[in-house]
Amino acid sequence: MTHLSADLVQQKQKLREKLRFRRKHFAANLDGMAQLAAFRALPAPLSDLIADHPVVGAYVAWGDEPDIMPMLAGLGEAGALALPHHAGRIDTMDFRRWRPGEPLVKGPWGTQQPADTAASATPSLIFCALVGFDRQGGRIGQGGGHYDRYFAAHPDAMRIGVGWSVQEIDAVPAESTDIALDAVLTEQEFIICGDRL
3-state SS record for 78-121: CCCEEEEECCCCCCCCEEEECCCCCCEEECCCCCEEECCCCCEE
Q: What is the DSSP string of 123-183?
A: -SEEEEE-SEE-TTS-EE-SSS-HHHHHHHH-TTSEEEEE--GGGB-S-PPPPTT----SE
pLDDT of residue 1: 44
What's the Rg (C-alpha) of the chain? 16
Domains located in the chain, CATH noted: 3-192 (3.40.50.10420)
Nearest in space to 86 (alpha carbons), one of 94, 97, 96, 98: 94
- Whole-number Å distance between alpha carbons of 7 and 174: 11
For residue 192, the surrounding DSSP H or E stretch is strand 190-192
The pLDDT of residue 36: 63
Residues of the chain with pLDDT under 70: 1-4, 32-33, 35-36
pLDDT at position 139: 96
Task: State the pLDDT at residue 197.
Answer: 85
